[in-house]
Amino acid sequence: MELNDTSYGYRGATWIKRIVVAADGSPASSQGLEQVADLAPRVGAEVVVVFVRHVPSAAMVAPGMADASVTETLDQQEAEVRSEVLRLLGGKSVVWDFVVRSGRPGDEIVQVADESNADLVVVGSNRHSSLHNLLLGSTAAYLATHSRAPVLVMRSRDAGNTVQATGERVDSSRPTELSRR
């Protein structure tokens, strides 16, 4: 393989006929869409993009106050994701569909993957605290344990980087003085 060759044998991957990709507008989700837009035409796979309209439980506490603003936010987020999908897949020679569901993201994505007989599920994963994952769970972890199809978890390109109070960018995958103690 040439140094600049990025095909990694994709042309011979005949087992991937249908890819389900979860899209929520996050950087990791966008990277997943980009990778699927690159992979699908190479292997001749169909793409099913899933957007889940998830109403956070905090919005359910005071339903009268949050209904309009939550719906408006979800509408805007859905429109942005649709636009991104159209930009990435619209010009490709790929058969694709955009599916909108309401509910818990993990459950809905698994259901769409099962209904469409997905060969691969792609999901973005944003770094959250352990407490967040303990209380709310991780969609990526849920899919990895509940999906019948293999799951590819994408992290945003900057997932390993953080910015210190000084504004200096730090690669958090490398040990620092504090983390060595």
Supply the pLDDT for residue 69: 82
**pTM of the predicted structure, to 2 decimals:** 0.74
Query: How far are the Cα atoms of 14, 21, 67, 72 from residue 46, in angstroms, in the given order?
Result: 12, 11, 35, 31
CATH number of domain containing 164: 3.40.50.620
- Whether residue 2 lies inside any domain: the answer is no
- SS3 state of residue 102: strand
Question: Domain range holding 122?
Answer: 13-180
Tally of structural domains, the chain = 1
Residue 17 within a domain: yes
Q: What is the pLDDT of residue 125?
A: 83
Given this model, what pLDDT does residue 179 score? 40
User: DSSP letter string over 26-82?
Assistant: SHHHHHHHHHHHHHHHHHT-EEEEEEEEPPPHHHHHSHHHHHHHHHHHHHHHHHHHH
Tokens 């042309």 map to which residue? 11
pLDDT, position 168: 43
Would 1 be classed as within a structural domain? no
Q: How far apart are CA 38 and CA 158, in angstroms?
A: 20
With a CB cutoff of 8 Å and minimum separation 6, the contacts of 157 are: 27, 31
From first to last of the 181 residues of the chain, give the pLDDT tens digit.
444 444 444 455 689 999 999 999 988 899 999 999 999 999 999 999 999 998 765 555 555 555 778 888 899 999 999 999 999 999 888 999 999 999 999 999 999 999 999 999 999 887 655 554 444 458 888 999 999 999 998 876 664 543 333 334 444 444 444 344 3
114 contacts 28 by C-beta, under 8 angstroms: no
DSSP state for residue 8 in the 8-state scheme: T
What is the per-residue pLDDT for 130?
Answer: 54
